[in-house]
Amino acid sequence: MTNPRQLAFIALRDVHKGAYADVALDRVLQKVNLPDSDRRLVTELVYGSVRRQRTLDTLIDQFAKKKSHQQPQDLRTILHLGFYQLRYQERIPASAAVNTTVQLAKENGFSGLTGFVNGLLRQYLRKAEGQGSRGVGEIRGQGDKETRQIINPQSPVPSPQSPVPHFDPLQLPENPVERLGILHSFPDWIIQVWLEQLGLTETEQLCEWMNQSPTIDLRINPLCTSIEEVEAALQSVGLLVRRIPDLPQALRFIGNTGSIQKLPGFREGWWTVQDASAQLVSHLLDPQPGEVVIDACAAPGGKTTHIAELMADSGKIWACDRTASRLRKLQENSQRLDLQSIQIYTGDSRHSNQFQNTADRVLLDAPCSGLGTMHRHADARWRQTPESVLELSVLQKELLTHTSTFVKAGGVLVYATCTLHPAENEEVISAFLAASPHWQIEPPRGIELAASAYSTPQGWFKVWPHRQDMDGFFMVRLRKTNNSE
């Protein structure tokens, strides 16, 4: 079976049974040999339908007599695929989107409801058609970027920032939290968290950014190559990359890459994949050659290997994690990058006592809700809840309290998360400092240019994706005073 839409349906069916979207997609793609264009289509349909689930459900609620949650689950999934193509896939003709969705219904146990499926999707088109200016007036986009206006065959692809036109078939409530939540497909509680920090305009910009397809960033390994050499090697096979300000090891791909493992320099250990904002964390730690450094939640190891590179692979890095299988990925990367200074410790850093007062520097890249990286994890917005965030904040406080004992007097601890929720960031640090008189926030050293772009008056770093065009991150550098016990 090589029908991309059928493959997407199978993957989405698994997601709705509880599977992670990336796992379900990989499982489906591994069983077939598809052309790259079809693989991209399956990937787009799966991730897009999961991301836009709330919007798609609202369309079903609006146009069908039975609400989305009352529909048979498989039929709901099929309707998601149809509406997703009509609303967000400019390159797929409306007729093809409708006809292939009807065919999906026929082939997956709903042959008696093909008229319903056809009618529902065409009703959406007619709604737009009646208020728009051409035969197919739906809002449609390139990839998963909302384009917000009618697409004419002769017109350029519009900007994602174009204003919402009055002829959008999607009906939205006045309440700003619900309106943004339905339009951009996020739970209300996430919208509320962002509104409280950013206000309406920037919250909408952040929503739009989070619904884009993610970019791929590289971190070159300066121990065996240079950024110029990697640029030249990638350009020699027709790949475009650009440098990222303030990050001396970072390159960002422009366009599709194909298989990462097959690119020049991967096997040789010239580079590894790591998002730009994650690279900032190790620069903030600023490890020096010959030091003892502990990475308290190390797997899968991107920051651990970066620390080793910044230390010129000289000194000792303890990579700690409680999951042995995740540490294997770290070991594989260490070997590929030819790094010798990393030592593995399997165990929970909350209960490790042998490291007390041993480290010059500690990195606590804490487990978190991942609200800064939701563009990379299509289903993360639906898996986290306010309750899970509070549970994580308890874990983060326990980890910070214990791993701070690993640091020698005068040493440094960097706390980092890839979330944008104050309960996991500012509140964790404020509680720790209130209970720990021998610790204080220290302004960053090393990458001063970056410090001006990301630092806050309180002394911590906050990377907002819509401002800096990289994953959302929080990080703070703490110094243990010399007079501490």
Q: Which of 11-15, 44-48, 195-199, 327-331 has the lowest mean pLDDT?
A: 327-331
Residues of the chain with pLDDT > 70, as a percent, come to 90
Residues 6+ away with beta carbon under 8 Å from 179: 172, 173
- Residue 194 dihedral angles phi and psi, to the nearest 5°: -75, -40
Token pair 């300000």 is at which residue? 245
> Three-state DSSP class for 93?
coil
Q: What pLDDT does 229 receive?
A: 96
Q: What pLDDT does 456 receive?
A: 80
User: With 0-12 CB in 10 A as exposed, 13-18 as middle and 19+ as buried, what is 79?
Assistant: buried
What pLDDT digit, counting tens, does each position of 382-406 carry? Answer: 999 999 999 999 999 999 999 999 9
Q: How far is CA 80 from the centre of its chain?
A: 22
Residues 6+ away with beta carbon under 8 Å from 190: 181, 371, 381, 384
Q: What pLDDT does 131 receive?
A: 53
What pLDDT digit, counting tens, does each position of 196-236 carry? Answer: 999 999 999 999 999 998 999 999 999 999 999 999 999 99
Q: What pLDDT does 347 receive?
A: 83
Is the per-residue pLDDT at 449 higher than 80? no
Q: Which of 56-70, 77-91, 215-229, 320-334 has the lowest mean pLDDT?
A: 320-334
Q: Catalytic residues, which ones?
A: 418
The CATH number given to 276-480 is: 3.40.50.150
Domain ranges of the chain: 181-211, 217-273, 276-480
Is the per-residue pLDDT at 453 higher than 80? no
The CATH number given to 217-273 is: 3.30.70.1170
Average pLDDT over residues 60-85: 96
Quote the mean pLDDT of the chain: 89
Helix and strand counts by DSSP (H, E) for the chain: 19, 12
Maximal C-alpha separation, the chain: 77
What pLDDT digit, counting tens, does each position of 80-131 carry? Answer: 999 999 999 989 999 999 999 999 999 999 999 999 999 999 999 998 876 5
Query: What confidence tier does 156 reach under pLDDT thresholds 50, 70, 90?
Result: very low
Is the per-residue pLDDT at 440 higher than 90? yes
Q: What pLDDT does 116 receive?
A: 96
Q: Which of 118-122, 160-164, 363-367, 479-483 has the lowest mean pLDDT?
A: 160-164
